[in-house]
Amino acid sequence: MRPAWLSPRRLREAGVLGMNCRNIEFIGRYNPRSKFPLVDDKLKTKLLAADYAVPTPSLRLVIRQQHEVADIEDMLAGLDSFALKPAKGSGGKGILVIDRRKGSHFIKSSGALIGITDIQRHLSNTLAGLYSLGGVPDVAIVEDLIEFNTCFDGYSHEGVPDIRVIVFRGYPVMAMLRLATHASDGKANLHQGAVGVGLAMDSGRCLNAVQFGETLTRHPDTDRLLGDIVLPQWRDILVLAARCYEMTGLGYMGTDIVLDGSRGPQMLELNARPGLAIQVANGHGLLPRLRHIEQLRERRLTSVDDRVDYATQHFAEGASF
């Protein structure tokens, strides 16, 4: 039986990055405060991504004022499926995903039926800042839904799986796939019960999978073997993640990427304070990899391709990190 607590020494040996260390030595040191708004505001991120030709789900509507909420039915007229997001939301809060319509009603990804008044209330809450960091007034954005990629058949309950890649000074250092479950209510957040699948940096193959901090081998809802997962277009995913470094200038960030069925990897959002659960999903601590990148001579490798090559070689499955 594994112990329920580990000693600080064991954690240090496993190279686990703790929250205090992350905040002071990585976020505090490598993420300039002035760059935070670029990623804390999804609208800014999307506009910036368009400048750098980083693919993202296309933006359909921006709702900025409370009076626009009354006309939302007309504005949504041409859209059968869409995702409604608060621009400054965090942790997946306040995201409403509509799969299709049924008469005058909308069907959420969970299958629940909602009316236009529910959408209006959700919009009002969003604009008032209910879901935003610090409760500041916000804007709402409506974007296209991601087309489900068939490679995830049987691996996801309700939501679209997304891939979190930690990018440190432009190098992808660690990655995981997040699968929504019934317990997580279609959300891809690990602390809400989503399954986290650690991915090998060289191949995109499953290394290890966890739910609620415990290792598991099969998807809890569909019973499919998680060990069989190998992500297609793996190199494209890593390149997309690495390109976000040039785009934002943030030294330590989490990039959330989805695989669209027809359009390939799309950048969904960026995070300047990425969580630590990725280490549990991988069964590896982040610290040795971060320290390794830290002591690299600056600007030795500048192109995105070189950095991805470096990461796939040095952080490969079975390598010393």
Partner 1 sequence: MSRRLTFRLMVISLALIGVLIAGLRYMETGIPLVPGQEAEVWLVEARVDFIADGGAITASLSLPENPPGFELVDEQAASAGYGFTLLNHNGDRRAEWTKRSANGPQSLYYSAQFIAGDRATEAPGNRMEPRVIPVFWNDAQLTASRELLARARSTSSSATSLARELIKLLNGTPPDQNTALLLSQPGSTAELLMQLLNQAGVPARLVMGLHLEDARRRQRLAPLVEVHNGDDWLLFNPKTGETGVAPTLLLWHQQGKSLLDVTGGRQSSVSFSMIRQTVPARQLALTKNSDTLFSRFGVHRLPIEEQSMFKLLLLLPLGAAVVVFMRVLVGLRTAGTFMPILVSLAFMQTSLLPGLASFISVVTIGLVMRSYLSRLNLLLVARIATLIVLVIFVISLLSVIGYQLGYSTGMVITFFPMIIIAWTIERMSILWEEEGPREVLVQGGGSLAVAVIAYLLMQLPLLQHLSFNFPELNLVLLAVILAMGQYTGYKLSELRRFHAMGDDG
Instruction: Tell me which H or E stretch contains 162.
Output: strand 162-168
- Which lies closer to partner 1 via its Cβ, residue 170 or residue 196? 196
Length of the chain (residues):
321
- Which lies closer to partner 1 via its Cβ, residue 117 or residue 150? 117
Using CB under 8 A as the binding rule, whether residue 21 contacts partner 1 is answered as yes
User: Using CA atoms, how far apart are residues 269 and 253, in angstroms rounded to an integer?
Assistant: 11
User: Using CA atoms, how far apart are residues 306 and 297, in angstroms rounded to an integer?
Assistant: 14
Beta strand 214-215 with 206-211: parallel, antiparallel or unpaired?
A: antiparallel
Binding range to partner 1, per CB under 8 A, among 72-80, 206-214, 219-227, 252-260:
206-214
Using CB under 8 A as the binding rule, whether residue 218 contacts partner 1 is answered as no
DSSP category for residue 22: I
Beta strand 171-179 with 162-168: parallel, antiparallel or unpaired?
A: antiparallel
Binding range to partner 1, per CB under 8 A, among 49-57, 102-110, 128-136, 228-236:
128-136
User: Closest distance between partner 1 and the C-beta of residue 24, in Å?
Assistant: 5
The token pair at 52 is: 């750098």
Could you give the string, one character per residue 257-276, with x where binding to partner 1 holds by CB under 8 A and - elsewhere?
A: -------------------x
Q: How many residues bind to partner 1 according to rule CB under 8 A? A: 41
Using CB under 8 A as the binding rule, whether residue 16 contacts partner 1 is answered as yes
Beta strand 214-215 with 140-143: parallel, antiparallel or unpaired?
A: unpaired
User: Closest distance between partner 1 and the C-beta of residue 287, in Å?
Assistant: 11
Query: What pairs with residue 163 in β-bridges?
Result: 177, 257
Instruction: Tell me which H or E stretch contains 28.
Output: helix 28-30
Judged by CB under 8 A, which of 81, 90, 110, 192 binds partner 1? 192
User: Using CA atoms, how far apart are residues 173 and 163, in angstroms rounded to an integer?
Assistant: 13
One-letter identity of residue 31:
N
Could you give the string, one character per residue 82-101, with x where binding to partner 1 holds by CB under 8 A and - elsewhere?
A: -----------x--------
User: Closest distance between partner 1 and the C-beta of residue 192, in Å?
Assistant: 7
- Which lies closer to partner 1 via its Cβ, residue 93 or residue 292? 93
Judged by CB under 8 A, which of 5, 104, 111, 134 binds partner 1? 5
User: Using CA atoms, how far apart are residues 200 and 238, in angstroms rounded to an integer?
Assistant: 12
- Which lies closer to partner 1 via its Cβ, residue 20 or residue 262? 20
Judged by CB under 8 A, which of 86, 285, 304, 321 binds partner 1? 285
DSSP category for residue 230: B
DSSP category for residue 165: E
Judged by CB under 8 A, which of 2, 33, 67, 300 binds partner 1? 2
Judged by CB under 8 A, which of 29, 100, 101, 121 binds partner 1? 121
CB 208 within 8 A of CB 283: yes
CB neighbour burial string for 49-72, b if at least 16 within 10 angstroms, e if fewer: beeeebbbbebbeebeeeebbeeb
Q: Give phi and psi for 213, each to the nearest 5.
A: 75, 5
Using CB under 8 A as the criterion, which residues of the chain lie in contact with partner 1 when the complex forms? 2-8, 10-14, 16, 18-21, 24-25, 66, 93, 117, 120-121, 124-125, 128-130, 135, 192, 210, 213-215, 276, 279-280, 283-285
